[in-house]
Amino acid sequence: MPNSVKWLGHAACQITSATGKVILIDPWITGNPGCAIKKQDVKRADLILVTHDHSDHVGTDIPDLVRSTGAMVLTHPELAAVLVQSGVSPDNIINGIGMNIGGQVEWAGIKVTMTQAFHSSSIGDAVGYIIILEDGKTVYHAGDTGIFSGMELLGSIYSIDVALIPIGSVFVMDPLQAAYSLTLLKPGIAVPIHYKTFPILVQDAGDFIRLAREKAPDTRVEAINPGEEIFI
Ligand SMILES: [Zn+2]
């Protein structure tokens, strides 16, 4: 089996590695009007990454998901402490404390680097993640962010196979910034996320697809629907 990258809806994504390990990112499932699954549908999770504490990212399901799957949680120490208060066992926080921007943590053959993101949050910083799977395939989840010049560094340091890119505007990059970010990140494939969940957000990927084709013709855009996946 190849690795799969599935968009669950909004910023929630699921990576299943070729060996079957399941990584959930920002699993806002219950209450997410754009989510393709229910909490009970999650049969396996090995690693849960959280980008920041806004309710449409951290959600309310993480303590239950950790209990039902035994997944390990990775985020920064400030949000990790809040998750422990909300019922996640400290034994399920990687390193017992989490990590911070620039560092890399390896868990069961999956390497995760926390990256900066430019966005507000109540606790700690908003972040993104570079996830390197066992076979070296690399996925970037940008979290919630505006465009930033450091994306060019990320694109130089890492060979990004798939970039999960917020395009919804208002709270994150708009389609123009999102398309331009691809010229910095240079991913093989870009999957637009964080749009159409709410009426206030951009409602379709059309502008992003058009602008990405113009600005970053070397990147293939895969505008999949919630519940759909691509294979790498
Ligand atoms: Zn946010």
Q: Write the CATH number for 131.
A: 3.60.15.10
Q: Is residue 171 part of a domain?
A: yes
Q: Is residue 230 part of a domain?
A: no
DSSP single-letter state for residue 102? T
- Rounded to two decimals, the pTM is 0.97
Q: Which domain holds residue 89?
A: 4-224
Q: Is residue 229 part of a domain?
A: no
| C-alpha 72 to ligand 1 mean position (Å) | 22
Measured at the CA of 135, the angle between CA 130 and CA 136, to 5 degrees, comes to 35
Question: pLDDT digit string (tens) for 26-60?
Answer: 999 999 999 999 999 999 999 999 999 999 999 99
| C-alpha 122 to ligand 1 mean position (Å) | 10
| C-alpha 222 to ligand 1 mean position (Å) | 23
Q: Is residue 103 part of a domain?
A: yes
Q: Is residue 200 part of a domain?
A: yes
| C-alpha 19 to ligand 1 mean position (Å) | 31
**Cα gap 34→201, rounded to integer Å:** 12
Contact 23, 49 (CB under 8 A): yes
Question: pLDDT digit string (tens) for 178-232?
Answer: 999 999 999 999 999 999 999 999 999 999 999 999 999 999 999 999 999 999 9
DSSP single-letter state for residue 28? -
The upper half-sphere exposure of residue 44, i.e. CA atoms within 13 Å in the direction of its Cβ, equals 8
Helix (H) or strand (E) run with residue 80 in it = helix 77-85
| C-alpha 17 to ligand 1 mean position (Å) | 27
Q: Is residue 232 part of a domain?
A: no
| Segment 62-81 mean pLDDT | 98
Question: Per the structure block, which two tokens stand in for 78?
Answer: 């400030």
| C-alpha 129 to ligand 1 mean position (Å) | 15
Dihedral angle at the C-alpha atoms of 133, 92, 121, 117, nearest 10 degrees? -20
Query: To which residue do tokens 């926390």 refer?
Result: 114
Question: pLDDT digit string (tens) for 123-135?
Answer: 999 999 999 999 9
Band of the pLDDT at 1, cuts 50, 70, 90? confident
Q: Is residue 231 part of a domain?
A: no
What is the count of structural domains for the chain? 1
**What pLDDT, on a 0 to 100 scale, did the predictor assign at position 141?**
98
The upper half-sphere exposure of residue 180, i.e. CA atoms within 13 Å in the direction of its Cβ, equals 10
Q: Is residue 20 part of a domain?
A: yes
**Amino acid at residue number 204:** D
Mean pLDDT over all residues of the chain?
A: 97
| C-alpha 118 to ligand 1 mean position (Å) | 10
**Cα gap 98→77, rounded to integer Å:** 5
**Cα gap 108→46, rounded to integer Å:** 9
